[in-house]
Amino acid sequence: GNSVTQMEGPVTLSEEAFLTINCTYTATGYPSLFWYVQYPGEGLQLLLKATKADDKGSNKGFEATYRKETTSFHLEKGSVQVSDSAVYFCALSDQGNYGGSQGNLIFGKGTKLSVKP
């Protein structure tokens, strides 16, 4: 079945460091790919998405490119801030595997990022 694998955390970085959180997926069909962010004590928020191969999603300085050839959707940011400390979830849409009747998101296990000043 479809699945998402992301790098295990926690990841601890100093402010202004470069961030990469790896995400790879297994899927049939052509899923959309997402990164969600969960700040402490809050629900998940959509950070960015890409709906087809070679699309680049971007938001708040974060970027991720949909790589079909490597089945990857790695999250990157050039210079992290303390306010980026959160848990990041990679996800794919599971549509099309249930006759279009279930808009399920398949999530990775999450990567906790801590940014130190």
Binding residues for another protein (CB under 8 A):
32, 34, 36, 42-46, 49, 51, 89, 93, 95, 100-105, 107-110
Please give the structure tokens belonging to residue 80.
């992290």
Residue 19 or 108 with smaller CB distance to another protein: 108
Closest distance of CB 46 from another protein, Å? 6
**Cα 93 to Cα 78: distance, rounded to the nearest angstrom:** 27
DSSP state letters, 5-65: EE--S-EEEETT--EEE-EEEE-SS---EEEEEE-TTS-EEEEEEE-STT-EEEETTEEEE
Residue 57 or 84 with smaller CB distance to another protein: 57
Residue 17 or 96 with smaller CB distance to another protein: 96
Closest distance of CB 53 from another protein, Å? 15
Residue 88 or 115 with smaller CB distance to another protein: 88
Closest distance of CB 43 from another protein, Å? 4
Q: How many Å is the Cα radius of gyration of the chain?
A: 14
Closest distance of CB 96 from another protein, Å? 9
**Cα 6 to Cα 91: distance, rounded to the nearest angstrom:** 9
